[in-house]
Amino acid sequence: MKILFDINIILDVFDNKRSEQYPSSKKVYDYCINNKLDCYLCVASLDNLEFLKISQLDMQFPELTYAQKKRLSDLLIQDLLKFFKLAKTPSYYPIDLNDIEDSQIIGSAHAIGAIVLTRDKDILEKYSYIAVHPDNFFDFIENKKNNKIPFLDLQSINMQYCHQFEEAFDAVLQSGWYILGQECKKFEEEFADYCGTKHCIGVANGLDALILILKAYKEMGIISDGDEIIAPANTYIASILAITHNNLKPVLVEPDLNTYLIDPDKIEEKITSKTKAIMVVHLYGQTCQMDKIWEIAKKYNLKIIEDSAQSHGAYFGQKRCGNLGDASGFSFYPGKNLGALGDGGAVTTNDDELANILRALRNYGSHKKYENIYKGFNSRLDELQAALLRVKLKYLDKEIEKRREIAKFYLENIKNEKIVLPKVRKEDNHVWHLFVIRTKERDRLQKYLEKNGIQTLIHYPIPPHKQKAYKEWNTKAYPVTEQIHYEVLSLPISGVMGMDEVKEVVEIINRY
Ligand SMILES: Cc1ncc(COP(=O)(O)O)c(C=O)c1O
């Protein structure tokens, strides 16, 4: 919960007489500090805070010089800013000329989704839906408490960075260059560096990343129409669409029931003279068993294409995904561990020629304006999304750490014989994009959790070969894949989930 403090509360807290007169102001202030709640001051109030503090000192200590009073006021503001964040009033918010400061405070609270803590009668009356008196604060938050645990609270995830996003937005706006500019270039450098690869090419989304990799190999003469690409039968549809959109044939391989990842021991039997690549999907945040897959690819001279849409930052041995094959596609769909505020994607690779072709393919097949070497696409990573992703990339490892902490707690504490917990390979460095459990009573468990306020999702309810889009495969049997799709359930997990919520999920599941 975010709380924007009106300065009358601040003045109550830092003046003995006033804190005696209005004890609830101090009580709420202490509660917020002790519980590390998200507290804000409106930028527009700072000037007034200084003025009122100096006036207060003037009345209480008339012997002080102006410089001394100013110094004391400066110290107070300096101290407050160690704990309080500043909220600016957005320029689009209408200013009420009858009380300019009040409307600026309300505008700031709106922009960040905060409540306003105030004793100002006008604000409390006029903006009762958003403003609360300290006397009523504890009742107010009790009523506001939402006992539901969302699957993924994207708003809270992104609001953590709202100030840096503002700065990033202003930089893009002022640059005057909105497609393939400096932000995209810098993000590509930073993400390549993060993955440990030579190149990163920003594209419009994860599906395009995979489509363009295959298209680039076709331009290089390595893959041709009708060739076969090995892919897991258990994956999100995008992995398969990328193959069929290129007039190539997906050859589906069953997953390992323990890890849900492509079973490396079942790949070799599917290789024919038409096989040109293996697409590995590091599903749910865990990398595939790459040592075995590297061996097979080497033996049959196959390219390895990674679908890393769910696994930013995951390791296999010393290397991160994105750097475990010949080329890798990433998605920055908002719900991913590294998610934009819209669509976004990227390809990483160490192959200079492939990178060069991809840079052209995403941009109408052109390196130079109006000269088209390939029949390309318009699939560029948006400049604004790149700027926002640069902010979030700095915190990706922190996000992953928090997810690991939650996953560890789930793994150690969920104890219910009806439920199969995810298996993690010993040497693994899982990033827990999803925490996926399995049970024969999946739909019943999901309803039970919903009734108890816990939102869950299914990744995924229908396997690719059973989709209407691929009706030619509907009669094929992939029993392990089908079992997974009928039994899996994803529990809430994210960097903003409180451990109290995690414990609640465990308790409720254990009672099932
Ligand atoms: C495994 C996998 N591959 C590919 C994609 C496609 O990414 P996007 O939604 O950015 O196109 C996704 C995500 O949605 C995914 O989960």
Q: What is the pLDDT of residues 11-54, one digit of tens each?
A: 999 988 899 999 999 999 999 999 889 999 999 999 999 999 99
User: What's residue 426's pLDDT?
Assistant: 74
User: What's residue 268's pLDDT?
Assistant: 98
Distance 203 CA to ligand 1 centre (A): 13
Tell which phi-psi region holds residue 276, choosing left (phi > 0), alpha (psi between -120 and 50) or beta: alpha
Residues 300-351: tens digit of each pLDDT = 999 999 999 999 999 999 999 999 999 999 999 999 999 999 999 999 999 9
Q: Which of 203, 236, 262, 337 to mutate to test the pocket of ligand 1 (most atoms within 8 A of CB)?
A: 236
Could you give the CA distance from residue 135 to residue 80 in angstroms, rounded to a whole number? 22
Q: Which of 333, 343, 436 to mutate to test the pocket of ligand 1 (most atoms within 8 A of CB)?
A: 333
User: What's residue 442's pLDDT?
Assistant: 97
- Looking at ligand 1, which residue's alpha carbon is closest to its atom 7? 206
The mean pLDDT of the chain is 96
Indicate the burial class of 504 (C-beta count within 10 angstroms; 0-12, 13-18, 19 or more): middle
Position 151 confidence tier, pLDDT thresholds 50, 70, 90: very high
DSSP-based three-state secondary structure for 274: coil
Q: Which atom of ligand 1 is nearest to the CA of 207?
A: 11
Q: Which atom of ligand 1 is nearest to the CA of 307?
A: 3
- The least confident of 68-82, 92-106, 181-195, 493-507 is 92-106
Q: b vs e for 305-328, b when ≥16 Cβ sit within 10 Å of the residue's Cβ?
A: bbbbbbbbbbbbeeebbbbbbbbb
Q: Which atom of ligand 1 is nearest to the CA of 281?
A: 1
Q: What are phi and psi of 445, to 5 degrees?
A: -60, -40
Position 163 confidence tier, pLDDT thresholds 50, 70, 90: confident
Residues 253-292: tens digit of each pLDDT = 999 999 999 999 999 999 999 999 999 999 999 999 999 9
Residues 462-477: tens digit of each pLDDT = 999 999 999 999 999 9
User: What's residue 91's pLDDT?
Assistant: 86
* Kind and range of the H or E run holding 448: helix 442-451
Distance 281 CA to ligand 1 centre (A): 10
Distance 238 CA to ligand 1 centre (A): 6
Position 504 confidence tier, pLDDT thresholds 50, 70, 90: very high
Mean pLDDT of 377-403: 98
Distance 243 CA to ligand 1 centre (A): 13
Q: Which atom of ligand 1 is nearest to the CA of 208?
A: 11
Q: Is the pLDDT of residue 136 over 80?
A: yes
Distance 301 CA to ligand 1 centre (A): 27
| Ligand 1 binding pocket, CB closer than 6 Å | 205-207, 235-236, 238-239, 281, 307, 309-310, 331, 333, 343, 345
Mean pLDDT of 420-432: 89
Give the other-Cβ count within 10 Å of 33's Cβ.
13
Distance 184 CA to ligand 1 centre (A): 20
DSSP-based three-state secondary structure for 255: strand
Give the whole-number percent of the chain exceeding pLDDT 70.
99
- Radius of gyration from C-alpha coordinates of the chain: 28
Q: Is the pLDDT of residue 507 over 90?
A: yes
User: What's residue 174's pLDDT?
Assistant: 97
Distance 92 CA to ligand 1 centre (A): 35
User: What's residue 419's pLDDT?
Assistant: 97
Crossing angle of the two packed helices 162-175 and 182-195, in degrees rounded to 10: 130
Q: Which of 212, 279, 284, 310 to mutate to test the pocket of ligand 1 (most atoms within 8 A of CB)?
A: 310
Distance 479 CA to ligand 1 centre (A): 24
Q: Is the pLDDT of residue 222 over 90?
A: yes
Mean pLDDT of 238-266: 97
- Looking at ligand 1, which residue's alpha carbon is closest to its atom 15? 309
Question: Do residues 328 and 198 make contact, with C-beta atoms less than 8 angstroms apart?
Answer: no
User: What's residue 360's pLDDT?
Assistant: 98
Residues 91-110: tens digit of each pLDDT = 888 899 988 999 999 999 99
User: What's residue 142's pLDDT?
Assistant: 81
pLDDT higher at 1 or 175:
175
Distance 205 CA to ligand 1 centre (A): 8
Q: Which atom of ligand 1 is nearest to the CA of 344?
A: 10
Position 141 confidence tier, pLDDT thresholds 50, 70, 90: confident
